[in-house]
Chains A and B, each alone.
Chain A
Amino acid sequence: MAKVLARRLSIAAALVLAVVTAAFLLVEALPGGPGALPEDPRVPPAQAERLRAAWGLDRPLGERYVRFLLSALGGDWGPSLAQHRPAAEVIAGALPWTLLLSGTALLIELAGGLALGLAAARRPGGAFDRASSVGTLALRAVPGFWLALLLLSAFALRWPLAPAGGVSTPGLDGGPFARLADLAAHLALPALAIGLPAAAGAARFVRAALLEIAGEPFLAAARARGLTPRRVLFGHALRAATAPLVQLLGFSLGGVLSGSLAVEVVFAWPGMGRVVFDALAARDYPVLVAGAALSAVAVIAASALAELAHAALDPRVRDA
């Protein structure tokens, strides 16, 4: 197990390094990037020289790369070019909002997906299975940003049950409970827009994972021992299907930071997606690099975690 852990962690670290390096080189090569400063004819040579020295751009590429890596390791990703504060601070301010939104969406996905998938797998081909098969097929295909627009026009404007965007009602007075309820109301529509299609996909995945092992002899044995269908399903089948379920969880976790971008934009949610979107428009490279690095870390860490969990749960993988 320790060997698997060490191997997987070193792969993950190498991947993060590779992504950060690729981002650094890409910015370096871009027109208007750090390398382009002295090319502007309007800047007098002496001034350009001074700027280059001030920003450390007179140093060779290798040295700049090492400096960038070292300060990034220390949490310094450079100054945001659009907002006059450190890029790391910009990202750090947005991170909790995205985690809140994506975490809620993930709960909707897992709860909805498990419940529907289990219910459908109990009687494959039955009435419920067929209805849920059609429903999830359609819902899975729905893009989050489109669902966000539809939810917005239905439940924020036509039947105003929830606020249309943002995270809080301006000028709201009240105790912590009132503020919590206000936050929950703001959270509901964007979380549903992300969570519902994901739940439909998860339901199909859970159903398929359960049916995949339905023919296994140990389930026949469990039934032959006289266990109730409920116990066969929950005690045996679900447990044996843990591996694909963990895989599903890892996949969903990986998208936690980057999967909500368009929905955040629709609902003016002040998370990572919005920050990255604004940084794109402003060509704010330090914020972009920091955001890219962080979402890459999320993807890589989630897949490493999923693999480790799989190894911990499945002796065949662990001892290989």
Chain B
Amino acid sequence: MPERRSRRDLTLRAGLAVLALLTLATLLAPVLVRADPELALDPAATALSPPGARFETLRLAAGYELAAPRVVRSGDRFRLEGRGREREVPASAVDPARPLGRVKFWLGTDALGRDVAARLLHGGRVSLAVAGASVALSLVLGVPLGLAAGLARRRLDTLLLGTIETAQAFPRLFLLVALVAIVPAGVGTTVAVLGLTGWMPVARLVRAETRRVRASDFVLAARAAGVGRTRLALRHLLPNVAAPVAIEASLAMGAAVTTEAALSFLGLGVPPPVPSWGNLIADARGLEAAWWVALFPGLALVATVIACGLIGDALRDRMDPRRGALAG
């Protein structure tokens, strides 16, 4: 048994570590990568550079930068070399303070010459925040409804359950159209769509757990002691359904990240140019030869979903010790 336990804790820790690392990296995005993810550095020279591409840059007095694999000074001119074509800039047009610089695109650039790494980290902020907020919204909606249905008498319970099932069968896209027709598409709308279409499993789970716990002796004891309905729900039932809700929330987080990406990929979620992992993958459509544009945001997405799944599974195992071996 101790061996199993340590492995379970390892799973939990691995999941939490990956998620924490991703969150930290996205939070530190302005420090780790350039602060403006939309900045395209001399697109004509840098667009669709593969991962690890290095450029030397030349800052012009006009304020923007040119880039080339090599920048050489010869007399009163700067020559930009490489990539098949040469350009020359007179020294008088160059910013005299710090004319030369270097830049490395760790994960390459997209079709507009934007840094994939910068967009990945900045987009991660949006993707993780949208997913987190939408899960929070579905908890805010689902937990009270589930508690109410679980505690209600038969008729009200049937009504609430019917509402839950109708909402669950209602296609997510249809609600999206309706919402977008009323309020403009945006980060908030995406959170609303995900939250409004994600609370049903939470409500079902809380309802089922409430009904299970309701029958136990300690609830009977509390009732006998004269505890009121509200207090019973909040102080005695809620803490007991918290654990399964935590499992559901961590799995829902992974699902929300995926759904946000799918919606944004289809152009129905976070509107560009705000970066999100779905938008980054959408930018890769038609650029199938530049595999790095689609690959890295997808990997970040998959890592997040795996981490959330690991956390959920580890929490579930912790609460459900009965698991045996089949070929014992």
- Residues on A lying within 8 angstroms of B by beta carbon are 11, 14-16, 18-19, 22-23, 26, 29-32, 121-125, 137-138, 140-143, 145-146, 149-150, 152-153, 156-158, 210-212, 214-215, 219, 223, 229, 233, 237, 258, 261-262, 265-266, 276-277, 280, 283, 288-289, 291-292, 295-296, 299-300
Contacts and interface: CB of A to CB of B under 8 A. Distances in A.
B325 to A, nearest CB: 5
A27 B266 CA distance: 22
B182 A30 contact: yes
Query: Which of B166, B169, B281, B327: most chain A Cβ within 10 A?
Result: B169
A152 B284 CA distance: 12
A143 B169 contact: no
B306 A143 contact: no
A211 to B, nearest CB: 6
A237 B326 contact: yes
A145 B265 contact: yes
A176 to B, nearest CB: 32
A171 B178 CA distance: 41
Contacts of A146: 261, 265, 281, 294, 298, 301-302
Interface string B54-75: 0000000000000000000000
Nearest to A219: B326
Contact of A211 (B174, B177, B262, B324): B324
B266 A149 contact: no
Contacts of A143: 258, 261-262, 298, 301-302
Contacts of B323: 211-212, 214-215
26 contacts: A15-B162, A15-B165, A19-B169, A26-B175, A123-B327, A124-B327, A125-B325, A137-B306, A140-B309, A141-B301, A141-B306, A143-B301, A145-B261, A145-B281, A153-B288, A158-B288, A258-B171, A258-B173, A261-B262, A262-B265, A280-B176, A280-B268, A283-B181, A292-B174, A299-B169, A300-B169
Given A146-B294, A215-B322, 10 more contacts: A19-B170, A29-B178, A121-B326, A150-B298, A153-B288, A158-B288, A210-B326, A262-B266, A292-B174, A296-B169
Contact of B162 (A18, A26, A229): A18
Contact of B288 (A11, A18, A152, A262): A152
A121 to B, nearest CB: 5
B289 interface: yes
A6 to B, nearest CB: 16
A122 B326 contact: yes
A26 B173 CA distance: 13
Nearest to A212: B323
Q: Is the interface of A mostly helix, strand, loop or mixed?
A: helix
B182 A31 contact: yes
A219 B295 CA distance: 46
A123 B309 CA distance: 23
Contacts of A157: 288-289
Interface in B128-186: 162, 165-166, 168-171, 173-178, 181-182
B288 A149 contact: yes
- Give the 10 A-B residue pairs with the shortest CB-CB distance, closest first: A153-B288, A215-B324, A141-B305, A214-B326, A18-B166, A146-B298, A214-B324, A292-B174, A296-B169, A292-B171
B254 interface: yes
Interface string B284-304: 110011010011001001100
Nearest to B323: A211
Contact of B284 (A32, A149, A292): A149
B328 interface: yes
Contacts of B182: 30-31
Contacts of A22: 166, 170
Given A19-B170, A143-B261, A143-B298, A214 B291 contact: no
Contacts of B302: 138, 141-143, 146
A288 B254 CA distance: 28
A105 to B, nearest CB: 16
Given A124-B325, A211-B323, A299-B169, A288 B174 contact: yes
A142 B261 CA distance: 11
Contacts of A283: 177, 181
A142 B325 CA distance: 29
Given A122-B327, A211-B326, A288-B177, A266 B262 contact: no
Contacts of A29: 178
Contacts of A123: 327
A15 to B, nearest CB: 6
Given A30-B178, A146-B294, A211 B169 contact: no
Contacts of A16: 169
Nearest to B258: A143
A268 to B, nearest CB: 11
Contacts of A292: 170-171, 173-174
A126 B298 CA distance: 30
Contact of B171 (A18, A124, A277, A295): A295
